[in-house]
Structure 1
């Protein structure tokens, strides 16, 4: 067991690339314990292993290099708790967002499967939906271009962030004047 490790050995122990360690050295995040003056080889102490593990964990939390530097400058239990609570909340928010996207995608897939299984485009089906709010516009439009912009304006007023197109039942329109010429 040696106290001094080459860059390759340290990289292997932490399952990262030597280029990552070189980058951390260049940006001043994680410096080698010793650099051979003749060869320029970087050597790390086994005691640096824990610091590199912390860096790896913080990077997995999407912390930037600057945020990690700041973390080490102000490292104590209180700051660690604040940072981890913030990251925990960000992950919960991201999971909620991903869940919403997954749900919306599932609805679109189910709707499109049903649509593509219809025998004819002219099939009529009565569907019942749970009560929902309706956003309307009293804007008068005279062609397809104006209609397109009116729809975009309505969509931008909606609170859901996923796209209302591509086969779901969250947005729709009716046109009382028939087809547009252009």
Structure 2
């Protein structure tokens, strides 16, 4: 039952996010109400993924070596940094067209490296697949990309500090709710 809920949650997450890209006329016709419907679908997806992941009995596919935790943490830091790059419109944003989706992909890969269960593959592999498909669909729909203008160098430092702070806070919460992410 847990695995089924997990699959439904990942599918609902992907469907809600891709709805705008796959059915733009229907999404436009929904107007502002559509935003609320998508938000509720995403909330439902998160609930299904959390409940499904926690309910499912782990089916181990591999066990990662202890040093892989450091690779995971580096990729998660990069993910947070890329989200900060997007929010602050730093200089790196001029080189990366989709920093948030790139960060999301880094986060998913990081977790695939250390969570060697079937449930981990369904959750993180499914979310990685969604992020890859999203980039492809966005790029097809908007072939012309206007690079953002130059930004102040100080924004890079703020992005790094912000990413580090976010990682520490989220890591602490992760440790309260699940496994301690920093090893040891």
TM over 0.5: no
Q: Relative contact order (alpha carbons < 8 A, sep ≥ 6): 1 or 2 greater?
A: 2
Could you tell me the TM-score, scaled by structure 2's length?
0.24
More helix by share: 2
Could you tell me the TM-score, scaled by structure 1's length?
0.24
- Larger Rg, first or second structure (1 or 2): 1
More strand by share: 1
